[in-house]
Amino acid sequence: MNTVPAPQKPSTKEPSANDMPHLETSNIRFSRILVATDFSKAADEAVKTAVSIATIFHSQIYLVHAADITVFAGPGSGPLPPTVLEANLAAARARLDRLVFDDPRLRKLKPRMVVAYAEPTELIEEVVEDKKIDLVLVGSHGPKGVERLLLGSVAEAALGRSTCPVLIVGPQCRAEENPFCSILFATDLTPTGLRAAQYASALAEQAHGKLTYLHVIDERSTWPVPSESGSEDSVEHRLAELLPAEARQHCRPRIRVESGDPAETIAKVAREECAGLLVIDLKERRPLLADHATWSTLSRVIGSVHCPVLGVREHVH
């Protein structure tokens, strides 16, 4: 007599970190890329980096420029004539056209342009939502003024508010043809870094590139936080647990645990590994600069590394 097996009760066990979907590495694509430009040198490098990435992924690029109405309006001035406002927008569009015309690779990608009077971060957020953007690129200026402002207000706001990964092209960066040939993932080993680990592993796997996982131990700093595990071997084990099985076959992964100043050590390891991309995990949403030490260290990292920095939140789409 055939018997029907009793139905299994649904498991109430909470999934462990190793059960989470971050171990899958085949679904990371940048199909729609937004690059913000104010026509500065930093923005030009961001555009070049966007071209390299879009060429790899056959992406659609959106060039976004937020026009500034305040350059025409002084204190107490009345409404500007529509002809003046439109002429300013037309001039910005002409500069974008020239930017595209001067770069054959960018011209081939047929980027779409968005020019509007708006606050830059608000315009970026609007385009991200409207066009279902997968990646935002922003240039960052060099170290000027107080350390908390090293990133620049637009870059800092993009990291703090964007719902998709944000790639910051710092002042030491020069665009590479394939930034995914060597990827460095710096993590503090908190659970919020799982999604960033997925991005690092997936991009390295797809490029058949080198992948390095790094944890910096520094009791004086809050980012990355000092290890609570007590031994370098256990830290290496926790780093290894973040590696998907596929990554071990395709990415030549390397585990590194270092001690020292986080910003200096990350930049040093990036040079030693010839990293084309640094991936970091961004913490939960918070008011910008609420944790000054965290943003200060991040600013120093972006200001000193020779490669772009990809910030990924746990909740990104």
Q: What is the pLDDT of residues 5-52, one digit of tens each?
A: 443 443 434 333 334 333 444 578 899 999 999 999 999 999 999 999
pLDDT, position 305: 94
Domains and CATH numbers, the chain: 32-139 (3.40.50.620), 174-312 (3.40.50.620)
pLDDT, position 144: 47
Q: Which residue stretches of 135-231 are H helix?
A: 153-161, 194-207
**Distance separating alpha carbons of residues 198 and 24, to the nearest angstrom:** 7
Q: Which residue stretches of 102-191 are H helix?
A: 104-109, 120-131, 153-161
Instruction: Look at the alpha carbons of 166, 286, 187, 258 in this order and tell me if their dihedral is positive or negative.
Output: positive
- Is the model's pLDDT at 88 over the cut of 60? yes
- Residue 218: which H helix or E strand, with range? none
**Distance separating alpha carbons of residues 200 and 15, to the nearest angstrom:** 22
- Is the model's pLDDT at 59 over the cut of 90? yes
**Residue 161 C-beta-side C-alpha neighbours within 13 Å:** 17
